[in-house]
Structure 1
Amino acid sequence: MLSHKWDGNKKEIELNEDSQCVDHFETFLKFFYFNHAIFNDTNALPLLILADKYNFKGLQKVCIQYAISYVLKEASLKDIFNVWFNYSSTACHSILIRECVKIIAANMTKIITSEEWGDDWMALDRDQLTEILKSNDLIIPNEYVLYQAIQKWINAPASPERKGSTLTATLIQILPWIRFPYMKAEELSELEGTPLAQTHVKLFMPFTHTAFKYISLPLSLRTTRYGF
Structure 2
Amino acid sequence: IDNSGSVLEKIAGLYAERLMSDIVLLVGQREFPAHRLILCASSDVFQVMLMNPRWNESREQRILLQEAPECVEVFELFLRYLYTGRLKISHSTVLPILALADKYNVKDLVDTCGRYMKLHVVSASQQNYLIAWLEYTLTCGHSEIAQVCLNHLKWNFEQVAGREDFASCDIDLLTTVLAQHDLVIHDEMTLYNIVVSWLHRQEERLSLPTPVATPGEPPPSFVPQSSSSALEGVFIPPPPMSITPSCGKLYLRRDSTASSCTDPVDRMEWLTYEVMKFVRFPMMTPRQLADLLLVPLTIKYKEFFVTRMAIGMSFHSAPSSSFSLLLLSSPSLLIYPPSTANLSFA
> Per residue, is there more helix in 1 or in 2?
1
Q: For residues 83-129 of structure 1, what are the alpha-carbon distances to aligned partners after superposition, in whole Å with 9 as ceiling and x for unaligned? A: 423543665655533321211232233344x6xx3x33334343343
Specify which of 88, 96, 103 is matched with residue 53 of structure 1: 103
Aligned to 2:291: 190
Contact 1:181 1:211 survives alignment (8 Å): yes
> For residue 281 of structure 2, what is the amino acid of its counterpart?
F
Aligned to 2:126: 77
> For residue 271 of structure 2, what is the amino acid of its counterpart?
T
**In structure 2, distance between residues paired with 1:49 and 1:124:** 19
Question: How many equivalent pairs are there?
Answer: 212
Q: How does 1:140-179 map to 2 (within 5 A)?
A: 140-156=185-201, 158-160=204-206, 163-179=264-280
Q: For residues 117-164 of structure 1, what are the alpha-carbon distances to aligned partners after superposition, in whole Å with 9 as ceiling and x for unaligned? A: 3x3333434334324323333332211122112212212363227751
Deviation (angstroms), 1:202: 3.8
> For residue 167 of structure 1, what is the amino acid of its counterpart?
M
**In structure 2, distance between residues paired with 1:206 and 1:40:** 55
Worse-matched range after superposition: 202-211 or 102-111: 202-211
Bigger radius of gyration: 2
> For residue 51 of structure 1, what is the amino acid of its counterpart?
A
**In structure 2, distance between residues paired with 1:137 and 1:41:** 33
Deviation (angstroms), 1:63: 4.9
Deviation (angstroms), 1:13: 1.4
Aligned to 1:26: 80
2:178 corresponds to 1:129: no
Deviation (angstroms), 1:50: 0.9
Contact 1:88 1:97 survives alignment (8 Å): yes
Contact 1:147 1:178 survives alignment (8 Å): yes
Deviation (angstroms), 1:176: 2.9
Greater relative contact order structure (CA < 8 Å, 6+ sep)? 2
Contact 1:191 1:197 survives alignment (8 Å): yes
> For residue 45 of structure 1, what is the amino acid of its counterpart?
L
Q: 1:74 to 1:120 in 2, by over 3 A?
A: closer
Extract unaligned runs of 5+ from structure 1: 32-36
- List structure 1 segments (4+ residues) > 6 angstroms apart after TM superposition: none
2:57 corresponds to 1:13: no
Q: For residues 176-205 of structure 1, what are the alpha-carbon distances to aligned partners after superposition, in whole Å with 9 as ceiling and x for unaligned? A: 322222111121222244232233234334
**In structure 1, distance between residues paired with 2:136 and 2:176:** 14
**In structure 2, distance between residues paired with 1:75 and 1:67:** 11
Deviation (angstroms), 1:48: 1.6
Q: 1:104 to 1:13 in 2, by over 3 A?
A: same
**In structure 2, distance between residues paired with 1:57 and 1:176:** 42
**In structure 2, distance between residues paired with 1:176 and 1:182:** 13
RMSD: 3.9
Q: TM-score with structure 2 length normalisation?
A: 0.48
**In structure 2, distance between residues paired with 1:136 and 1:83:** 23
Worse-matched range after superposition: 57-66 or 96-105: 57-66
Aligned to 1:199: 300
Provide the secondary structure at the position in 2 that maps to 1:13: strand
Aligned to 2:5: none
Contact 2:195 2:276 survives alignment (8 Å): no
**In structure 1, distance between residues paired with 2:138 and 2:113:** 13
Q: TM-score with structure 1 length normalisation?
A: 0.68
Deviation (angstroms), 1:15: 2.9
Deviation (angstroms), 1:39: 7.3
2:214 corresponds to 1:214: no
> For residue 109 of structure 1, what is the amino acid of its counterpart?
E
> Per residue, is there more strand in 1 or in 2?
2
Extract unaligned runs of 5+ from structure 2: 1-44, 50-54, 207-212, 215-263, 325-335
Q: For residues 3-24 of structure 1, what are the alpha-carbon distances to aligned partners after superposition, in whole Å with 9 as ceiling and x for unaligned? A: xxx9666343133551134312
